[in-house]
Amino acid sequence: MLLGLAVFAVWAVWWVVRYIRADAMTRQSIRQAVRVRRTWKRLALMLKLSVTDKMPTALASLANTDNKPVKPRVLVPSLKVVHDPYGVIVRANCLPGVGLEQFQKAAPHLADAWRCTRVAVTQDKPGQVVIRGVRLDPLKFATEHHPTGEAPDEIARWDLGLDEYAQPVSVDLTQVPGVTVAGLPGFGKTSLINRLICDWAPSPAIQFVCADGKVSTAREGDYAHLVKRMFAFVGDDLEAANALFRRLVELRRARVTAAEHVLGVQSMWEVGPSAAWPLVVVIIDEAHTYFRDHKGSDPRTKKLAALAAENARLVEDLVKKGRSMGILTILATQKSTGDAIPTFIRDVCPIGLSFAQKTTEASVAALGEDIRKWPDADPTNLQDRAYVGVASMNHQSQPGFARIRTPFVSGKDSAAIAQQTAHLTTDPADLLRAQLPGIDLGKDDPDDTTPSLAA
């Protein structure tokens, strides 16, 4: 008895301390979790999430010596409730006839009873459902990310933020040739890309290169600090961009020639990126600058039109053929028409994200026709300033789109990371030459007009 009291006292003290130390949002969730547990039996009966077992148990039959009819038992799914700042995560056991489908049907009523903005029911293992209830809309709460400066545990995993149920979302960019990022100006595209660079920069197995169509020199604009961690950078000059894209296509072709010698396999992903054969992340920001059509018959306009057409061809090459050689292209644009990122490039990028858009046509240009089937996820719903930093992303593994609250990464943090990791910057073409001295890394395709690395 005394021992029981002592255990209870310790538990009560632990509980009170935990409650006092929690922030205001978490305290509300703790109270919510208590309410969910306390009211569950009654609520489950009202929502028909219970079953009546008319058959007496063996024990009840034995105890029933006077042969009176045994009362049927009402079974209610047992619950395990945990909380986080946004709400509760409830695991419930299924019962015969009460499973995923019944819980999903009851979800709106659970949301009302538990005072949640949203409730989602999923099944992570047989016989158990997970009910996620969020009291507050995680999409509406701005978050921040402070990069650690540590090399990532898993190469090519892109941590994006929180979904509408406050669950962390990340995508595996292994074997991914391209990503598109679209959205109205000032809604968080650059911050999203900054995070990727800052999280990955401490790894020597990753090299970055950037074309930013919004600026003329690296000293201006969003990448002014991060340029230290990039082996090449060009601004809005079409000719300079053209030369850079050629250089990258050339690198891709040289890697094809060198793969068997250096890696012993034909696809870099079979062995993974390394400091000697790094994953090359090509960032093309304000991509429309490089691809847009130039109309006019004067020689200068004609030249620009030819350069833009060739840029599109070169970037298409990188996206279509770069994956197995360890080249990942990320294209960002604030322009919302089909020519901003040519559809023949967009359609080979398996991952698309879009921040707010003005019209559904713009959403379609950014995310493809499928977004029409998922009106809730249409980024036209994200135009309120509360949604700066929120993007819709096509699911990799299932139909539909996820809405993600991405965190803000400050310029100060990205500058610090670039400074700390600048010494890791190397041109992947130099690495290749150093590994294969004397081997011609030139063309393996006679029709290809791009110059050879061995020049």
Ligand X SMILES: Nc1ncnc2c1ncn2[C@@H]1O[C@H](COP(=O)(O)OP(=O)(O)OP(=O)(O)O)[C@@H](O)[C@H]1O
Compute the least distance from the CB of residue 392 to ligand X, in Å. Answer: 14
Pairing assessment for the beta strands 79-84 and 351-354 based on DSSP bridges: unpaired
Compute the least distance from the CB of residue 421 to ligand X, in Å. Answer: 21
Compute the least distance from the CB of residue 142 to ligand X, in Å. Answer: 4
List the 401-405 sheet strands across, edge first: 168-172, 157-163, 401-405, 390-394, 351-354, 178-182, 327-333, 279-285, 206-212, 230-234
H or E element at residue 238: helix 238-262
How many Cα atoms sit within 13 Å of 446 on the Cβ side?
Answer: 0
Nearer to ligand X, 221 or 322 (CB): 221
| Whole-number Cα distances in Å, 155 to 61, 190, 221, 249, 257 | 61, 21, 28, 23, 24
List of residues contacting ligand X (CB under 6 A): 142, 183, 185-191, 222, 334, 388-389, 406-408
Compute the least distance from the CB of residue 391 to ligand X, in Å. Answer: 9
Residue holding tokens 């890696």? 263
Compute the least distance from the CB of residue 286 to ligand X, in Å. Answer: 7
304 in Cβ contact with 294 (< 8 Å): yes
- The Cα–Cα gap between 296 and 448 comes to 29
Nearer to ligand X, 97 or 185 (CB): 185
H or E element at residue 356: none
Tokens of 86: 């946004």
Compute the least distance from the CB of residue 410 to ligand X, in Å. Answer: 9
Burial of 446 (0-12, 13-18, 19+ CB in 10 A): exposed
Residue nearest to ligand X (CB): 389
Cα dihedral sign, 435-438-443-446: negative
Compute the least distance from the CB of residue 26 to ligand X, in Å. Answer: 21
Nearer to ligand X, 189 or 346 (CB): 189
Tokens of 239: 């000719």
3-state secondary structure of 283: strand
Nearer to ligand X, 185 or 375 (CB): 185
Nearer to ligand X, 68 or 385 (CB): 385
Nearer to ligand X, 198 or 424 (CB): 198
Nearer to ligand X, 98 or 192 (CB): 192
Compute the least distance from the CB of residue 292 to ligand X, in Å. Answer: 15
Compute the least distance from the CB of residue 317 to ligand X, in Å. Answer: 26
Nearer to ligand X, 186 or 296 (CB): 186
Compute the least distance from the CB of residue 426 to ligand X, in Å. Answer: 28
Compute the least distance from the CB of residue 188 to ligand X, in Å. Answer: 3
- Residue 421 has φ and ψ, to the nearest 5°, of -110, 0
Nearer to ligand X, 77 or 407 (CB): 407
Nearer to ligand X, 329 or 336 (CB): 336
Nearer to ligand X, 192 or 279 (CB): 192
Burial of 390 (0-12, 13-18, 19+ CB in 10 A): buried
Alpha helices for 322-402 (secondary structure H):
343-346, 360-367
Tokens of 4: 């029981």
As beta bridge partners, residue 131 has 90, 121
> Shortest CA distance to 234 belongs to which of 311, 335, 300?
311
How many Cα atoms sit within 13 Å of 153 on the Cβ side?
Answer: 1
